A and B are shown apart, each in its own frame.
Chain A
Amino acid sequence: MAASPKLTVSVWRGMESGRFQAFEVPRLESQTVLDVVTYIQRHLDPTLAYRFACRVGMCGSCAMTVNGQARWTCRTHVDKVAAHDRLEVAPLHNLPVVRDLVTDMSPFFDKWARAHGRFRGTRTREDDFARVPPDAPQRLLADAAIECIGCGVCYSSCDIVAWNPDYLGPAALNRAWTLVNDVRDGGNRERLAAIAGDAGCHACHTLMSCTERCPKQLSPTASIAGLKRAAMVAALKGGI
């Protein structure tokens, strides 16, 4: 490999106010950004705070801002992002910084609750299973958006969230869209009312940063567009 053996890494230290601290990290083959951060904490500065769990792109807890863009650090190879062997690692944007690379995700998940992201079943355990054919149109729409693991990359990339702090954000709205398409769910009237306001789907200007950055290649923009149509139809029918 032609890469030089050292990597210069700028890591955010502190809270909302803070500064970047530079570290020299050995450059290894197939190294991920999470490997780099872990190396710094284990060998260079044990006080560095960061968050991770699964290391394989399942849990959604290691998202950070790498060279200015929100990413999963565990699935981002240094090869892909470190131009001239330089890395810049910062906490996710649009969320309060707890310390160093750790953000407080509560505003993010509170908005899932506000968007009625909870399944509201209509059956009891006495009822038979609901049968949803795999090729039913609504099932296909839900399938297209269901793989979200709540990592916050879209939320961190969204400018509307930054401009309008009440905005529910791409992930919560994407979740609401999967439930709108869930034929077993009985909470759509309230859900559509919750997502149709000034802080809901109509605040989205289709900048598509969420879609551009989603590590699972989902399109929250598509889900939000679906919600805009659903909310409009509901409003015309006088449903909300």
Chain B
Amino acid sequence: MLAVFVLVHLATVIYAVRNGLSAAEILGRTRGNLGWAAFYALFVAAVAVHAPIGLRSVLSETFDWRGRGLELTVLATGIALALFGFRAVYAVFV
């Protein structure tokens, strides 16, 4: 599922930069666009689940960090990513 999001996102990014980025152009496309907001809200949710899981592996395997402290840290990271991500989606939607 995440793969589909990333594919669409990559295509969008490549399309968006074709004639250079401008705030007016981006916001013109995103403001009030419910489908767009829903897509990216789901994308943020998926990322906020995926990223902490990956970080958890890296931290425990490469940095030998295990136990409750690690679990709480990655959980907090996930929640923070989700909130910050939703804020970003909201910012270009309204």
Contacts and interface: CB of A to CB of B under 8 A. Distances in A.
Contacts of B64: 163
A225 interface: no
A160 interface: yes
Interface in B30-71: 57, 60-62, 64
B16 to A, nearest CB: 33
Interface residues of B, number: 5
Contacts of B57: 205
Contacts of A217: none
A41 interface: no
Contacts of B62: 163
Contacts of B61: 160, 163-164
Interface in A128-173: 160, 163-164
Interface in A148-202: 160, 163-164
A181 B34 CA distance: 49
B28 to A, nearest CB: 43
A199 B62 CA distance: 16
A160 B57 CA distance: 10
B74 to A, nearest CB: 14
Nearest to A163: B61
Contacts of A164: 60-61
A93 to B, nearest CB: 16
A160 B58 CA distance: 11
A115 to B, nearest CB: 20
A163 B59 CA distance: 10
Interface string A65-97: 000000000000000000000000000000000
A164 B64 CA distance: 8
Nearest to B66: A164
Nearest to A162: B61
Nearest to B64: A163
A237 to B, nearest CB: 22
A228 to B, nearest CB: 15
Nearest to B63: A163
Nearest to A160: B61
Contacts of A160: 61
A164 B63 CA distance: 11
B60 to A, nearest CB: 7
Nearest to A159: B61
Interface string A81-120: 0000000000000000000000000000000000000000
Nearest to B57: A205
A87 B60 CA distance: 35
Interface of A: 160, 163-164, 205
Q: Which 8 A-B pairs have the closest CB atoms?
A: A163-B61, A164-B61, A163-B62, A164-B60, A205-B57, A160-B61, A163-B60, A163-B64
8 contacts: A160-B61, A163-B60, A163-B61, A163-B62, A163-B64, A164-B60, A164-B61, A205-B57
Given A163-B62, A164-B61, 6 more contacts: A160-B61, A163-B60, A163-B61, A163-B64, A164-B60, A205-B57
